[in-house]
Structure 1
Amino acid sequence: MNTRQLLCHLGTALSATCLMSAMSLAHGQTNLPDPIKVPSGHKLVLESVGVGEITYECRDKANAPGQTEWFFVGPKATLNDRDGKMLGSYFGPPATWQAKDGSTITGTQLAVAPSSSGNLPYQLVKANPAQGKGAMTGVSYIQRVATRGGVAPGLACTAANKGQREVVNYQADYLFWAAN
């Protein structure tokens, strides 16, 4: 990824400070909350921009009779490179990242950290071994950062609309890491 692509993606002005901050986010982890930092001994092997939607359903709240809440049903997104070229897809459950070459990984969430208001939290996922050979082979961690949108709908979830599904748009950077 070149500097211009990165800055264009981030929608920021060209400046040394901006460039260092953006590069630090993607490669150095220094600007990320501690819970979602990738352990040392790993290198960034693939960056993608996930663009898609998340489905929520109004359901009974677990262990709270008579209460309802928006329940995360699952994501559906296209994974693109910084130029907008499709690299693969992200869907679930279970959370699955699939490269265009057919290789796939699933994973287990290790940590989340707050993002800005109205946006999905940052996330660190431990990847399971890849299925198939290709871009996902060797990936050990996935980070979700630079999130925009994706939170549960602002509509009321009540007994009257139980079962109703709502789809919200989101975007996030997915960073894929492998052992050095």
Structure 2
Amino acid sequence: MKNAHNTLWAHSKSAALTLAFAAGTAALLAGCAGVKPPPKEYTQDRLDEQIQVPPGNVVALETTAVGLLNYECKANPAKGGNIGWVLVSPQAELMDRTGKKVAAYSGPPATWTHIDGSSVVGMQVAVAPRPGATNLDYQLSKGTPGAAPGVMQNITYIQRIKTKGGQDLSKACTQTDMGDKLTLPYQADYIFWKAA
């Protein structure tokens, strides 16, 4: 009788373990089905040559920015003193490819500050036209990192690509409009590079 009881107990225990293992495997597979594949490695092959980062650099961080660009109607020294809309301050939040906020963009000068406290200032070196009159140009900036250690400490270049909005400057800006303000929403990808 004892042997029959032990045999029955062993079979029940084995069946319970098998059932638990099967249920756990099914749950694991179901969980994995919702996991997104890793993002494709960034390539700049389709970008205009003038905004491509030179060889010897690798991508350090890929982000998408959403924010506002604040303009003022005034004389623009960069355009010979002609009156026009001049960018006076950008403000945007940057998310990494997982959707986590990792940095903020402000200026002038154009400054990206990571949540770890590190930062980099960008100096524009080239632009490339973006299709659509109201989209910002694509841009390549040379990076000058701040002193604080972190992600931005070794950034050599910053690319602005995939722009949407930010440049609908059709509102009147003449001598009589001097001092008027204009705020425009925009989105762009900022790709940060460092020396390989």
TM-score bracket, normalised by the shorter chain, equals 0.7 to 0.9
**Partner residue in 2 for 1:144:** 160
Does residue 90 in structure 1 map to residue 113 in structure 2? Answer: no
Change in Cα spacing, 1:121 to 1:47, as seen in structure 2 (3 Å) is same
Contact 1:5 1:82 (C-alpha < 8 Å) held by counterparts: no
Q: 2:185 aligns with which of 153, 169, 172?
A: 169
Contact 2:135 2:168 (C-alpha < 8 Å) held by counterparts: no
Shift of 1:130: 3.0
CA distance in 2, matches of 1:150, 1:5: 30
**Partner residue in 1 for 2:151:** 135
Shift of 1:74: 1.9
Shift of 1:152: 4.5
Shift of 1:172: 0.4
Amino acid at match of 1:77: A
CA distance in 1, matches of 2:89, 2:131: 21
Between Structure 1 and Structure 2, the one with more helix by share is: 2
Change in Cα spacing, 1:168 to 1:4, as seen in structure 2 (3 Å) is farther
Q: Cα deviations across residues 47-103 of structure 1 (Å, max 9, x unaligned)?
A: 111110101101135445xx5211111211001113321101000000000000110
Amino acid at match of 2:165: G
What 5-or-longer segments of structure 2 have no aligned partner?
1-34
What 5-or-longer segments of structure 1 have no aligned partner?
7-22
Amino acid at match of 1:80: M
Change in Cα spacing, 1:137 to 1:60, as seen in structure 2 (3 Å) is closer
Q: 1:49 aligns with which of 48, 54, 64?
A: 64
Q: 1:79 aligns with which of 94, 99, 102?
A: 94
Identity %: 42
**Partner residue in 2 for 1:12:** none
Contact 1:53 1:167 (C-alpha < 8 Å) held by counterparts: yes
TM-score, structure 2 normalization: 0.75
CA distance in 1, matches of 2:187, 2:68: 8
Contact 1:105 1:131 (C-alpha < 8 Å) held by counterparts: no
Amino acid at match of 2:55: S
CA distance in 2, matches of 1:40, 1:125: 15
CA distance in 2, matches of 1:28, 1:49: 16
Change in Cα spacing, 1:5 to 1:163, as seen in structure 2 (3 Å) is farther
Amino acid at match of 1:122: Y
**Partner residue in 2 for 1:19:** none
Amino acid at match of 1:167: T
Amino acid at match of 2:120: I
Structure with greater Cα Rg: 2
